[in-house]
Amino acid sequence: MARRVELIGLEGFPLVKPGDDLGRLIVEVARANGVKIEDGDVVVVSQKVVSKAEGRIVDLRSVRVSREAELLAAMSGKDPALAQVILDEAEEVVKVGRGRIIVRTRQGVVCANAGVDRSNVAGRPDVVSLLPENPDESAARIRERVRELTGRDVAVVITDTYGRPLRRGQVNFAIGLSGLRPFRDYRGTLDLFGYRLRVKRIAVADEVASAAELVMGSGAEGVPVAIIKGLKSELGEGSARELNMPEERWLFR
């Protein structure tokens, strides 16, 4: 009678290296955790392990720094090589302050440092990870690989953790999708009393990302993959790019 959704964080995930078969690792770790992968499960994967598997890591000692990156480094107080990598990942620099470079990435997400990150990457402090080149495609590849290995059709969501302009603290967001609709649409539907709703579209994929974080965790906890059961009504197709607010509709600038 009650609606139930289960969030399961997979323990014991191995360290991921460039070239690793992430779909296979997910299937193997799920099995080791005693978790059965079923049709309609949503597999949530932290961006960090996707980036590592795809070799999206850069050694800052190998970066040639441009004049523009030197300027950005001076303005932000960041390392010039890191500023160069952020610039290379940015479609547009949105805001620069002390210790802070906010950009719109080539993937369309507005976030600090273009998602470029030193944490949980081997080779510190000189090696950083970049966002996956095309996170929707990364999600589709993992989904296809899980289907090959298990015969099950799952949805895959790739997530990363960012701050928010008007709220303190960071939350997990969906940056890549396959098999899950980004939104649940209420437009044109009526409420309990037949009135048009204030809520128009729920960003379900971002809520799924936030929910999964509750069993994933950052830091040394090392839980980069969660399985969510009970979300069949949200399955469908779409791109995480749809979640990015188009720049002409930014309220604050």
Span from 53-61, 132-140, 149-157, 244-252 in contact with a copy of itself (CB under 8 A): 244-252
Burial class, 54, CB count within 10 angstroms (exposed 0-12 / middle 13-18 / buried 19+)? buried
Q: Which residues touch 163 (CB under 8 Å, ≥6 apart)?
A: 111, 112, 169, 170
Pattern of binders to a copy of itself over 17-56, x per CB under 8 A? ---------------xxxx---------------------
- Map residue 105 onto helix, strand or coil: strand
Q: Pick out residues in 115-174 that bind a copy of itself (CB under 8 A).
A: 117-122, 124-125, 161, 164-173
Span from 64-72, 82-90, 111-119, 146-154 in contact with a copy of itself (CB under 8 A): 111-119
In whole angstroms, give the CA distance from residue 63 to residue 71: 16
What letter does residue 56 receive in the DSSP assignment? -
Nearer to a copy of itself, 74 or 199 (CB): 199
- What are 212's two structure tokens? 């999964």
Size of the site for a copy of itself (CB under 8 A): 86
In whole angstroms, give the CA distance from residue 141 to residue 77: 38
Nearer to a copy of itself, 148 or 200 (CB): 200
Q: Pick out residues in 164-223 that bind a copy of itself (CB under 8 A).
A: 164-173, 182-184, 186, 189-204, 206-208, 210-211, 213-215, 217-220, 222-223
